[in-house]
Structure 1
Amino acid sequence: MDADFKDTEAFYDRLEGRSRDRDWPALQECLPRFLTLFDAHMAEKADAGGELNRLRGDILHHVRAQAANSPGLFTLTVPTGGGKTLASLGFALDHASHHGHRRIIYAIPFTSIIDQTAAIFRKLLGDDVVLEHHSAIDEEKWQQGRKEDRQQADKLKLAMEDWAAPVVVTTNVQFFESLFAARTSRVRKLHNIAGSVIILDEAQTIPRHLLRPAMRMLDELARAYGCTIILCTATQPALGKDRVQGGLSLEGRELAPDPHELARKLRRATVRMVGTMANGDLITQLEGEEQALVIVNSRKHALDLFREAEQARLDGLVHLTTRQCAAHRRQILDEVRSRLEGKQTCRVVATSLIEAGVDVDFPKVWRAEAGLDQIIQAAGRCNREGRRATEESIVTVFSSPDYPPPREIRSLMGDMERMRTTHAQDLQSLAAIEAYFAEVYWRMGGDLDREGILDLFTHSRKGTDYAFRTVAEKFRMIESGMVPVIVPWGDGAGDDEAREAIRLLGVPEKSSAALARALQTFVVQVPPEARARLVANGKAEFAAPAQRGDQFCVLKDEGLYLPDVGLLWEDADYLAAEQLMI
C-alpha cells in the first residue's frame, strides 16, 4: 500500500514538476552518532553528583547491560523519578545496535506529556531525526516560519503517513488504532513498524476493555514482525501469562535491577488515608501550604473547588482540567513549573490528567479516592526530585461524598480497598501493585475484551473470517462519549494560530484532514447535549457546513472561554461573559 501511494505521488509530481523530500537517514547509520550524544549527555548528568543521580546512573547501567538479550518482550519497572525515559532510550539504542532494528518508536498515553518527551529526544539526538506524530501536532506554526522550517514541516507531514523517520514519538492512540485500522492510509505505517524497538510508556494506561486484543497485537509484533517491545512504567500492570488470561511471555524479561528494592529506595512520599474531606476542609488545608496540588475525579468537582478557593482569596490558584484546550494546558503547565522552581505560591486544582508522566514536583498532594495505580501516580508528583524528607511529603487520600466518582473509578476503589486489607503495611510496594492489578483483571474477566474483538478473527477448515472493518470500528482507545468544540484561543502574545486555522475552514481548497490536525490542539470535548445547546443558542456554529458538514463546531461567544478555567458550557451556555461576573 505504501509503495502504491508513493508511486502515484511520484507520477503526478513528474507531471507537475514537483519534488518532495521523503529521505530520512536509516537508524543503523545514525546509531554511532546517537550513542556518542547519549553517552555525553549521561556523563554530564553523572557529573552533577547527588544520591538520586547516582541511583539513576546505576539503573541506566543495569538496563543497558542487557541490550544484547534476544529481541522480544521486556518490562522496565522503575518508580517515578528513577529516570526510566532515558533508561529505556539508552536500552533501545544499544539493543538496535546489537540486533539491527530499523527504528525506535516511543508511544505515550497522553498528549499532555508527549511534548516534553519529544523535546528530550530532539535535544539529545537532533531536530532532524525525530518525528513527533500525534493529534495535536503543530503544523501551521512550522508553515509560518523560515523557508527551512517550512521545508522541514513538509517533510514531517510526509513522514506522518508512513513513519519513515528513524525515531518516532507518538501516542498510544495513533499506535494501536493504526494497527487495528481498516484504512489504507493507516496501513502504510505497518512495514515501518516491523523491525522496530517499541517503548510503551505508562503501560498501565492501556484501556482495560481492550487489554486482551492489545496484548495479542503486541505478541504478534514481537513474534512475527521482528519487534522488541518494552512495557515501561512505575506501576507495572500484571500482564504476564501467570497473571492474566491471554497474558504475555514476560518471565525473566525485566530490565530494571530488583524492582521491589527500587520501589523502596525511590519512595519519595508518604500516603495517608484520611476519610471524608469537603471542599471547605481542602481549602483550609491549602491555606497552610504555599505550594500544593489537589487532584479530583471530575471536571465539576475541580471547578467547584477552584471557585470556592477563589472566594476564600487563596493566592497562586491554578485550575487545570480538560475544560481547557491542549495548547492552553501546555502554557499552564509551563507556568506551574516556573512557579514551583521559583518558589512562588502555587496551589493547583486538577483532574487526573496531571498524574501520569507530567514533570511537576509539589511538597504535598491531596488525591480523591481512586485506584491504587492512580494514587501511586499522584504520589509521583510529590517530592519528585527527593529534595524533602519522605515523611514530610504527604499524599493525602480523601473521599468526597458530594462528588460521586465515575463508575469505572468506583470499581477500582473497591479493588483498592481490598489492597488496604491485604497490604496495609505498604500500599506503595510493588507486591501491592501486582496484587492490585491481578485483582482488577480477575474482577473484569471477559470485559478485558469487552467488544469481542478477538472473536472477530476466526479461521477453520472452511477458511478465514477476519472482520477488519468491524474491528476498526470497535477498537477505540478513547471512549469519551463527548464531542469537540473548537475554541479560538491565543496565548496573549500575538499568536493567532487558532483563528487563522478557523478562517481557512472557509477555503474549499484546504484539506479537512490537515485543518483538523492544525485545530486539534484547540479542541475542548463537551457532552453532546451541551454542544447542541451552544449551537441552538448561537454560542457556537458549524464552520463552512457546505464544504465541511458538521466536522468543525467553532465557539462564537469567546466570553464563554475564560482564561482561568476554560470553557463553561453548563448553564452558562446562554449567558454572555459579563453576566457571569460577580
Structure 2
Amino acid sequence: MYIAHKRDDGEIHPLISHLKSTAIIAEEFAKPFKAEKYAYACGLLHDIGKYSYEFQNRIKNNGKHCDHSTAGAREALKLGNSGKLLAYCIAGHHAGLQNAGFASDTGNEATLASRFKKKIPDYSNAFDEINLPEINIPKMPNIKGINKFGFSLSFFIRMIYSCLVDADFLDTECFMSEGKVDRRSDYSFDLFLDSLNREIDEFKKKENNEINYMRNRILLKCIQKSNHEKGLFILSVPTGGGKTISSMAFAINHLLNNKMSRIIYVIPYTSIIEQNAKEFKDIIGGENVLEHHSNFDFSDDEEEVNNKLKLSSENWDIPVIVTTNVQFFESVFSNKPSRCRKLHNIANSVIIFDEAQMLPAEYLIPCTMAISELVANYNSTVVLCTATQPALDQLFPKCIRIREICEYTDEEKKLLNIFKRTKIIKREELNLRDLADELNERNQVLCIVNTRRHALELYSKLKKDGSYHLSTLMCPVHRREVISKIKVKLKTGQPCRVASTQLIEAGVNIDFPVVYRSIAGLDSIVQAAGRCNREGELKDENGNKILGEVHVFTPEKKFVSHQPYTFKRRIEVTKGIIRRHDDIFSVDAIYEYFKELYEVSGEEGLDIKGIYKDLESGVHFNGTKPQENFNFDFENIAKEFKLIEDDTVPIIIPYSKDENDNAARELIEKLKFTEKVGGILRSLQGYTVNVYKPEFDWLFSLGIIEPVKKNIFVLTDMSSYDSKTGLKIDKEIGIGIYV
C-alpha cells in the first residue's frame, strides 16, 4: 500500500484515498464557478510524486526529504492547452504559486519552467492506481476574458489553486485529527433575516422626524433593490443615513434571492472592524461572524486551537466575514497557500466594500479588475458603499454594468441636506505659533496634521491643562488610554485640545465641535470632518442646532518638505477643488476630486507596480484566441502588491499605565524563553511602535533598544518613552508622513 500520511499512533493514510478525497472536495469547491473538472484533476494529480520509492522510504523509514509536487505538474502539462494552468497549482501546493520562469532555466531555479527540467524520483507506480487518460479537462476555462484575457486567466489559476490547497489541507486534517475537528456550524440565512427584520422593526419605531424618515427611505430602497440579479452595485448613503443596517438588509435579502453562500464586509481600517462586527453579531450571533484582518493571520508555528472562528479564518467558511482592504486584496494577489485557501469561498458571495473611496489609488486598477473578475466570472455581487461619489465608475471595464441601489428623487436629494453636520472654513497658511494660539483660545478642539514632527511641536505649544497628543510614536495601548481620557473630557465639557496625526481619522468614534485639518487629499479632509459634530447635536447658546466648523489650513513650509509625490499630488488636486467649489463636501466636488485625481495619476499612477499590466501580458494570441504561453510571475506579484509598504521596524515598548501594570513586561519575559512566538507577538502588538529604518538605526546606535530574539527588538530605556508623546525620536529624523 502506498502511503500519503502517517499519524503518531502509527495509523496510515492510503495515498489513493487522499488523492480521490482531495479531488472530490476540490471539485465541490469549484462548483460555484463551474470549474469542477479542473479542480478534480488538480486534486487527483497533486501528490502523485508520493508514489516514488524515495517518498515511501521517507514516510516509512524516516528517509531523506524528496520532491513530490513536480510529478503532478508534469502530468498536468500532458492534459492539453490548459494543462499549464493546473501545473502552477500542483507545483505550488506547498511552497506557493511560482514565477513562470524562462526556457533557459536549468532546473535549479524556483520557477515553474525549472520544475519541468528538474531531476525528480520515478513516480510511475502511480499508474497502477490512477488511470491518467481518464482525466479530462476543457481546452480553455469557460470564463469571460476581460480586456486581453491574461488577468482573467491568472485569476482563474488562483481560484483553482485555492480549491486545491483548501481541499488538501481539509482532507489531511481530517485524517490527522481522526475526524475530530468541527469546522462547520449549522446556520440559516432565513433565521438571520428574521432577526434582521426584528431589528428593522425597532429601527422604524424611532422618533418621527426628517432624519428617520430619510433613513427609512434608504432602508426601503435597499430592500427593494435586493431582488435584482447578481452584479456590481453602488450604495450612496450620507453619513448618519443608517448605512450599516441598510447594507445588511440588502446583503441578506440579495443572498437569499440569488441562492448565494456568504457575506463579506471589507472595511478600510483595522480600528473600525470591532465596532462594525459588533453590529452584525448583535443581529445574527457572534458565532456566525468572523473578524479577520492582517493582525490576525495565524502563523505556521501556531499551536492547534480547536476554535471554530480561528479555523474559519483560514478559509472563510463562515456566514459573515468582516475584514480589511489589506487582508482582502493582499490575499487575492498572494501566492501563499495559507492566504489563498480562502479565495474559493469569495465566489458566490455578497461582498460589500465600506467607504469604497478609501480603496488605495496607487493600486486601483488591479483592485477594480479583481472586483470585475469576481462579478463577471465568479458569481459574486459587489457593493461599493460610500458617503461620497468617488468616480470609480470610470475605472471598471465597459462590460461591467454598475447599478445604483439608492436612486434619489429631487425631493429626496433636498432632504439629504438634513444629514449635513459641518461647514468648511477655508484658511491660508498658519504658522505654528498662530495655530497654537487659535487652538488655545478654544475650549474643545482637534487639530490633525500630516507629520509626527508637526504634531509634537504643536502639542508643545498648547496649554498643559486638557491638552493631548496622539501619534504612532505612542503604542496602541497608550493611545487607547489617551482616547478614553479625551472622550471623558468631551462628554463632561472640560477643556480638551488635541494635536494628532491622521491616525485619529481611522474610524475613531470621537466628537469635537471644531476640527482643524492641515491640507491633505480631500478624502482625508472628509474623514477628518467625520470627527466633528458626529451626532449633529451641536447647539448655540440659545439651544439652536448649528454646524460644526472644519478649518482647512496650509502648514508652514518646514512641515511639508518631505512629502511623498503621491501625497503632494492629492494636495494639488484638493487645492483646485477648494478654489472652484464653495462646498468642497458636495457630491459634485468630491466626484470631481476623484475624477481629476485618477486622470492626473494616469494608468501608471493607479497601478504603480505595473501588476495589472504584467498579468495581462502573460498571454499571447493567435488571432483572437489565447495561445498556451500563460507566463505569470505569481511570486513577484505577491511581493509587489503591498497596500501598506512595510518599510518600518517594530519596537516593543514595555509600557505600563501604572506601577501595578506588568502585562507588557511579563509577555516580554515569556518571549525570551519561548520557541513558538506567534501568539506572544500578537499579544504584544498593542505595545509596539513602528519606526522607519533611519530612526531605528539612530535608536540602536544609542544603545536603548536590544534584540530579544532574531529581528525582535525591545526598548530597554524607558526614559526614552514619554508618558505624553511616546517614543522620543530626533526631530530631524522623525518626519514620517501618514502616521
Under a length normalisation based on structure 2, what TM-score does the superposition of the two structures give? 0.69
Is the 2:705–2:717 Cα contact (8 Å) retained in structure 1?
A: yes
Partner of 1:444: 601
Displacement of 1:320: 1.9
Displacement of 1:396: 0.7
1:385 aligns with 2:550: no
1:255 aligns with 2:406: yes
Partner of 1:558: 718
CA RMSD of aligned residues (A): 2.8
Partner of 2:651: 485
The code of the aligned residue for 1:253 comes to E
List runs of 5+ in structure 2 lacking aligned partners.
1-164, 540-544, 621-626, 734-739
Within 5 Å, which residues of 2 pair with 1:157-556? 157-240=310-393, 243-244=394-395, 249=400, 251-255=402-406, 257=408, 261=414, 264-309=417-462, 312-313=463-464, 315-388=465-538, 392-401=547-556, 402-404=558-560, 406-407=563-564, 408-422=566-580, 424-445=581-602, 446-457=604-615, 458-460=618-620, 461-479=627-645, 481-490=647-656, 492=658, 496-510=662-676, 512-544=677-709, 549-550=710-711, 552-556=712-716
SS in 2 for 1:564: coil
Q: Whole-Å Cα distance in 2 between the matches of residues 419 and 248 of structure 1?
A: 31
Partner of 2:174: 10
The code of the aligned residue for 2:177 comes to D
1:22 aligns with 2:183: yes
CA separation of 1:415/1:571 partners in 2, compared to 1, >3 Å: closer, same or farther? Answer: closer
CA separation of 1:331/1:90 partners in 2, compared to 1, >3 Å: closer, same or farther? Answer: farther
Is the 1:260–1:429 Cα contact (8 Å) retained in structure 2?
A: no
CA separation of 1:508/1:379 partners in 2, compared to 1, >3 Å: closer, same or farther? Answer: closer
CA separation of 1:480/1:469 partners in 2, compared to 1, >3 Å: closer, same or farther? Answer: closer
Is the 1:136–1:518 Cα contact (8 Å) retained in structure 2?
A: no
Q: Whole-Å Cα distance in 2 between the matches of residues 51 and 330 of structure 1?
A: 36
Is the 1:76–1:256 Cα contact (8 Å) retained in structure 2?
A: no
Q: Whole-Å Cα distance in 1 between the matches of residues 488 and 203 of structure 2?
A: 21
Partner of 1:579: none
Q: Whole-Å Cα distance in 1 between the matches of residues 182 and 686 of structure 2?
A: 26
Is the 1:239–1:247 Cα contact (8 Å) retained in structure 2?
A: no
The partner residue of 2:190 within 32, 42, 66 is 32
Deviations for 1:153-173, whole angstroms, at most 9, x for unmatched residues? 833222221112211111111
Displacement of 1:558: 2.8
CA separation of 1:238/1:12 partners in 2, compared to 1, >3 Å: closer, same or farther? Answer: same
Q: Whole-Å Cα distance in 2 between the matches of residues 560 and 262 of structure 1?
A: 54
The code of the aligned residue for 1:441 comes to Y
SS in 1 for 2:183: coil
CA separation of 1:41/1:79 partners in 2, compared to 1, >3 Å: closer, same or farther? Answer: same
Displacement of 1:370: 1.3
CA separation of 1:520/1:224 partners in 2, compared to 1, >3 Å: closer, same or farther? Answer: farther
Displacement of 1:494: 5.8
Which consecutive segments of 4 or more residues in structure 1 shift more than 6 A?
Answer: none
Deviations for 1:530-556, whole angstroms, at most 9, x for unmatched residues? 212323333112222xxxx31x22222
Q: Whole-Å Cα distance in 2 between the matches of residues 172 and 236 of structure 1?
A: 19
Displacement of 1:497: 4.6
Within 5 Å, which residues of 2 pair with 1:62-73? 62-73=221-232
Q: Number of residue pairs matched?
A: 546
Which range is displaced more, 212-221 or 101-110? 101-110
The partner residue of 1:89 within 228, 241, 248 is 248
1:100 aligns with 2:262: no
CA separation of 1:359/1:55 partners in 2, compared to 1, >3 Å: closer, same or farther? Answer: farther
The code of the aligned residue for 2:259 comes to G
Q: Whole-Å Cα distance in 2 between the matches of residues 260 and 348 of structure 1?
A: 35
Is the 1:207–1:477 Cα contact (8 Å) retained in structure 2?
A: yes
SS in 2 for 1:69: coil
Q: Whole-Å Cα distance in 1 between the matches of residues 447 and 438 of structure 2?
A: 10
Is the 1:325–1:521 Cα contact (8 Å) retained in structure 2?
A: yes
Displacement of 1:356: 4.5
Q: Whole-Å Cα distance in 1 between the matches of residues 549 and 688 of structure 2?
A: 35
CA separation of 1:522/1:93 partners in 2, compared to 1, >3 Å: closer, same or farther? Answer: farther
Displacement of 1:500: 4.1
Q: Whole-Å Cα distance in 1 between the matches of residues 177 and 659 of structure 2?
A: 39
Is the 1:456–1:465 Cα contact (8 Å) retained in structure 2?
A: no
Is the 1:108–1:202 Cα contact (8 Å) retained in structure 2?
A: yes
CA separation of 1:393/1:119 partners in 2, compared to 1, >3 Å: closer, same or farther? Answer: same
Is the 1:2–1:188 Cα contact (8 Å) retained in structure 2?
A: yes
CA separation of 1:394/1:486 partners in 2, compared to 1, >3 Å: closer, same or farther? Answer: same
SS in 1 for 2:376: helix
Q: Whole-Å Cα distance in 1 between the matches of residues 484 and 597 of structure 2?
A: 35
Q: Whole-Å Cα distance in 1 between the matches of residues 349 and 531 of structure 2?
A: 32
CA separation of 1:572/1:352 partners in 2, compared to 1, >3 Å: closer, same or farther? Answer: closer
Deviations for 1:255-296, whole angstroms, at most 9, x for unmatched residues? 364696566332111101110112322232223332221111
Is the 2:218–2:246 Cα contact (8 Å) retained in structure 1?
A: yes
Q: Whole-Å Cα distance in 2 between the matches of residues 248 and 289 of structure 1?
A: 54
Displacement of 1:491: 5.0
Q: Whole-Å Cα distance in 2 between the matches of residues 266 and 330 of structure 1?
A: 29
SS in 2 for 1:415: helix
Is the 2:287–2:309 Cα contact (8 Å) retained in structure 1?
A: no
Partner of 2:53: none
The code of the aligned residue for 2:168 comes to D
SS in 2 for 1:164: coil
Is the 1:321–1:351 Cα contact (8 Å) retained in structure 2?
A: yes
Is the 2:214–2:415 Cα contact (8 Å) retained in structure 1?
A: no
Greater relative contact order: 1 or 2 (C-alpha under 8 angstroms, separation 6 or more)? Answer: 1
Is the 1:543–1:554 Cα contact (8 Å) retained in structure 2?
A: yes
Within 5 Å, which residues of 2 pair with 1:43-82? 43-49=201-207, 50-82=209-241
Under a length normalisation based on structure 1, what TM-score does the superposition of the two structures give? 0.86
Is the 1:138–1:518 Cα contact (8 Å) retained in structure 2?
A: no
Displacement of 1:508: 4.3
